Structure formats: structure tokens, C-alpha cells
């Protein structure tokens, strides 16, 4: 079965899956602003705040990501009896997460991470400070017993996920009860461990999912390569009686050690534009949990987790990733290029729209790519989330421009455009107009560069008919393919005239033979002429 069919099957099955997530519940606060200057009071940045937001973090983040993918999630953990706790509980309920096992402790604060993000020179926001409000002591015995009794007795779950941030919820006693119950019920128990040197409290869990730093601390090994990570995973399995270990290696992917299947394999991932690593580990835990509940192997689970975590790091903070985004990413990853067919592009555009993303479309010959093209494509990319560039085929260009065009074949033109970071997809079409493409793709914005008015843009009536808009970019003066070709022809003509004209005067060939200099006059073609000075 193809990967896309597997994903479709998992997406459909997710709605019937029930998962338990236990761990430390965290409220993430974000304050965005402009970091425009340094304070006159101290050598620190001044952040002019303009937006605040609250999101689910920790185990609540894992539950939220699962819920965003359609799973039925019950969350277990502890909140403080405070304003932040009430905000976090409200967010959970709004997300459709079952909070029957979320308890309240009036003697501890709700764990809160407050992040301040500054935007400078209109660039992407960067985190400049984080403030944590927390209490790390273990939860009281009474709450520990209530959580153990509630989670162990629940029978509807297909998998149990533990998200341990070492804030006091995942006590040895609670985990021991959970591990024993999972063994009795033959439930997959998957743990994202805390950063600690001893994993004794996780002994007997089925799967552990540490990151590189956590695995180094737990094994005493330095992990510089996937091979090192596989050795670390093997050591963790041997030392703590684990069935499997997945070591997260950020941009290097995931190292999978599965003792049940006898597999040790590195699962690479492709490089991403990393805006914020927050939530990437939570996404890996969520996806691996879903895949295990659906009966997938660990290698396939890691491959899908890589894709989803890669999408997550391109977002700010912990933000849901949809099945549509995952499918679109897998579709893009089928080829090392961005070249797609019309059928593929129509499906990708539908996935973008399903996820609330704006699709931008432009088309043209793009013969002799120049700075004017690049400037207008960069401007077009700012108008939405995905930029599609459709280029006329060679036959189409000949019909439009004459038999001397194109200069560059369509496959090469497509390759040049695909190399631009601002371009997401490239397709070649054979029609004289883009009407059929616009009707299939239905972009939100149709863009054209040059001196057109919006009404003059070919295909404008198609896009406006379904509510799309037309945009004409700024023209870069003195740049056009025709002007470049005229310049080439003019210079070529001058060179030909010089080559055909006889050389006036005498040309001296200097030959060194027996220290004598022989001179003779000649009139020879320019390309074969050499004039040497007397020594």
C-alpha cells in the first residue's frame, strides 16, 4: 500500500482511537512585540508589546496535537487552584479534550512558561526571554493515589502516552502503577522522558522517546552521529528492559532501536526552515502514539513523525498540524524537485485551502530568468502561503513568441524556478492561456508582473468569478527578456562585423630562431592574429 493510502487510512481511523495522555500540564504564554531599541536604563532590549496569546504546553500540548488530528484524548495531570489553572482548563475544554482526570492542587501553582518574542527590522520573531512559574516537588500522595486509580481502571484506551517534564506529576509510584497496568492490558506505553541521568522509574515501559541531550545524559555517551544514537538506544533498551527506543536527533531525524522486530535503523528527515523548536518533541510523541494505536511499525511511525515535527518547527509555538498539511508535505516529498503535474497541484491546492492557507498563482514563459522575474516572484510569495509558478511549454512559447523562442527548454526553465526559495511548486502547461489551470487549482491570488492593469491580466475573469483577487507587482525598470535578447543580438552583430573586416596595417609575427628576428607582413583573419612584442 502507498504511503498516501496509509496516511488516508490512519486519518480515517484516528476518529475511533482513544488515547490517554498523562504528565505535566503547562500553560504557555506568548508576548509578541517590536524590539526596536536598547533601554537607556540598562543594556537590554525594549520590547514594545502588541500581542499576547496563551496556548497548551507539556502533556496538554501532546493532547492538543492529537485532538487536532482527530483523536479522542483523555488527559491526566494536576493544575494549581489559580487564574492560570482556570485558563488552562478552559483551553482544554475548548479543544475538545476530556479533562476527567485533570485534578487540582490548591498548594501549588499551575506551571506556566512565559515567552517574549521580538520582531526587529521586519524579520521573523525571535524568542528573547522565557520566564517559568513552577513548583517541582512531587504531587501529594492523595493526588498520586487518585490519578493512579483513575488511569489504571480506564479500559477504553488503545495507547498510553506519558509526557514527563519533571514538574512533579510523574512520580515513581504513579508510573509503576501505570506500567504494571499497561503490561496486564497489553497496552503500548510510550514515554517522552524528563532530562535526568537515571531512567529507573521508566523501567519496563514499552517505548521511550528521548531527544539527543536526554539520551546523552541517561547513557553517559556523546551522540555526534546517527550511529552513536543507535548505540545509545541499544544501551537504554538493555539497561532498563525497554522494548524499543526512538532517539530524536532534531535535524538528523530519528534513530530507531526496536528489539521486538530486531530493527536498528536511522530514519532521516529533510532540512527545514526552523522558526521555533517548541512542540516538535510533543509532535513526535503524539504521532508515534497514534501510529502504535493503529498497529504501524516503528520505522513507519518515525517517518511520519519526522514529517509532522518538521511542519511543527516551521510554526511559532505549539500549533496544530493537520492531516491535510501532512499529506501535502508527503506529496511534495515524492520528488526532490518542486515540479508537479496539474492533477497533483489541484490536490495540493485543495489541501492548502482545507488548512486555511492562501494559494498564490502566477504564470509566464520565464525564458532567460532575470532580476525582474526574481523580484516579482519574491513579492508574489508574500501574498500567501504557497506560490505556484506555471510556465509555458516549449511548443506554447513558440506559438506565442515565434519560432526563435524559447531560448531555454521548458525542463531547464522549470528547474531554475524550482531552485528559488520563494517558489513552492512549478508546473509546465501546454495551453496558450492559464484558464484551465486556474479552474482546476482555484488560487486565492492571481499575480502578474509588469505594466498590466488588473483587468488586463489573462485569466482575471476566471479568478474573480469564484471570489479570488488579482495583483500586479511593481515592475523593475530596464529588465525584460526581450531587452536582454536585443542586447545580445546587438553585441553579436558588432563582433561579427569586426571579425569579417580585414586588419589594416602590418601585423608582425615574431619568431625566435637562432636569436634572429624575422618579420613579415600579413593580412590574416582576426581570430588567428597574434602580435608579439620584440624581446
Residue numbers annotated as active site: 282
Dist. CA 196–CA 175, nearest whole Å:
16
Helix spans in 321-472 (H) = 323-332, 342-354, 371-381, 394-401, 410-418, 435-441, 460-465
Helix 298-313 and helix 323-332: axis angle, to 10°? Answer: 100
Q: Strand 126-133's sheet: what is its strand order?
A: 45-58, 25-38, 111-119, 126-133
Dist. CA 241–CA 258, nearest whole Å:
12
In terms of DSSP bridges, do strands 25-38 and 45-58 run parallel, antiparallel, or are they unpaired? antiparallel
SS3 161: strand
Query: Could you say which DSSP state residue 138 is in?
Result: P
**The C-alpha cell of 102 is what?**
485533570
Dist. CA 293–CA 286, nearest whole Å:
11
Query: Could you say which DSSP state residue 474 is in?
Result: P
CA distances to 360, 422, 457 from 460, rounded to whole Å, are 13, 23, 6
Exposed, middle or buried, 100 (CB in 10 Å: 0-12/13-18/19+)?
A: exposed
Helix 3-14 and helix 298-313: axis angle, to 10°? Answer: 80
Amino acid at each position: 500500500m502507498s504511503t498516501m493510502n496509509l496516511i488516508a487510512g490512519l486519518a480515517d481511523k484516528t476518529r475511533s482511537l482513544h488515547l490517554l495522555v498523562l504528565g505535566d500540564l503547562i500553560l504557555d504564554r506568548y508576548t509578541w512585540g517590536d524590539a526596536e531599541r536598547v533601554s537607556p536604563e540598562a543594556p537590554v532590549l525594549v520590547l514594545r508589546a502588541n500581542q499576547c496569546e496563551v496556548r497548551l504546553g507539556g502533556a496538554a500540548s501532546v493532547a492538543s496535537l492529537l485532538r487536532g488530528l482527530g483523536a479522542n484524548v483523555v488527559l491526566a495531570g494536576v493544575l494549581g487552584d489559580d487564574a492560570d489553572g482556570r485558563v488552562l482548563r478552559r483551553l482544554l475544554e475548548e479543544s475538545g479534550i476530556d479533562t476527567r482526570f485533570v485534578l487540582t492542587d490548591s498548594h501549588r501553582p499551575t506551571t506556566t512558561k512565559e515567552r517574549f518574542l521580538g520582531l526587529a527590522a521586519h524579520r521573523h520573531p525571535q524568542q528573547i526571554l522565557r520566564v517559568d512559574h513552577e513548583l517541582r516537588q512531587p504531587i501529594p500522595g492523595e493526588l498520586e493515589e487518585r490519578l493512579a486509580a483513575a488511569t489504571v481502571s480506564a479500559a477504553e484506551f488503545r495507547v498510553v502516552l506519558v509526557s514527563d517534564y519533571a514538574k512533579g506529576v510523574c512520580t515513581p509510584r504513579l508510573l509503576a502503577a501505570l506500567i504494571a497496568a499497561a503490561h496486564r492490558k497489553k497496552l503500548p506505553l510510550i514515554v517522552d522522558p524528563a532530562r535526568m541521568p537515571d531512567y529507573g522509574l521508566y523501567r519496563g515501559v514499552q517505548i521511550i522517546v528521548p531527544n539527543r541531550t536526554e539520551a546523552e545524559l541517561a547513557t553517559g555517551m556523546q551522540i555526534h552521529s546517527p550511529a552513536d544514537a543507535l548505540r545509545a538506544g541499544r544501551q537504554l533498551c538493555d539497561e532498563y528492559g525497554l522494548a524499543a527506543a526512538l532517539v530524536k536527533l532534531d535535524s538528523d531525524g530519528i534513530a530507531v532501536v526496536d528489539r521486538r522486530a530486531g530493527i536498528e535503523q536511522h530514519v532521516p528527515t529533510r532540512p527545514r526552515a526552523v522558526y521555533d523548536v517548541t512542540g516538535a518533541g510533543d509532535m513526535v510523541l503524539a504521532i508515534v502514539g497514534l501510529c502504535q494505536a493503529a498497529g504501524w511499525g516503528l520505522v513507519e511511525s518515525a517517518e511520519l513523525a519526522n514529517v509532522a515535527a518538521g511542519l511543527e518547527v516551521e510554526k511559532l509555538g505549539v500549533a496544530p498540524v493537520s492531516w491535510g498539511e501532512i499529506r501535502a508535505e508527503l506529496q511534495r516529498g515524492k520528488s526532490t524537485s518542486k515540479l508537479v503535474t496539474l492533477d497533483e497541484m489541484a490536490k495540493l491546492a485543495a489541501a492548502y485551502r482545507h488548512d486555511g492557507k492562501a494559494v498564490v498563482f502566477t504564470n509566464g514563459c520565464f525564458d532567460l530568468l532575470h532580476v525582474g522575474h526574481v523580484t516579482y516572484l519574491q513579492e508574489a510569495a508574500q501574498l500567501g502561503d504557497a506560490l505556484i509558478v506555471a510556465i509555458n511549454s516549449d511548443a506554447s512559447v513558440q506559438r506565442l513568441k515565434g519560432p526563435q523562442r524559447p531560448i531555454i527548454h521548458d525542463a531547464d526553465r522549470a528547474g531554475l524556478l524550482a531552485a528559488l526559495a520563494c517558489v513552492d511548486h512549478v508546473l509546465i502547461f501546454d495551453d496558450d492561456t492559464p484558464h484551465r489551470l486556474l479552474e482546476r487549482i482555484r488560487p486565492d491570488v492571481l499575480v502578474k508582473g509588469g505594466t498590466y492593469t488588473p483587468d488586463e491580466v489573462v485569466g482575471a475573469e476566471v479568478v474573480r468569478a469564484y471570489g479570488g483577487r488579482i495583483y500586479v507587482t511593481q515592475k523593475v525598470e530596464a529588465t525584460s527578456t526581450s531587452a536582454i535578447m536585443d542586447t545580445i543580438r546587438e553585441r553579436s552583430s558588432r563582433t561579427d562585423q569586426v571579425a569579417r573586416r580585414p586588419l589594416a596595417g602590418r601585423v608582425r609575427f615574431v619568431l625566435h630562431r637562432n636569436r634572429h628576428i624575422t618579420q613579415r607582413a600579413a593580412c590574416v583573419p582576426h581570430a588567428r592574429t597574434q602580435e608579439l612584442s620584440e624581446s
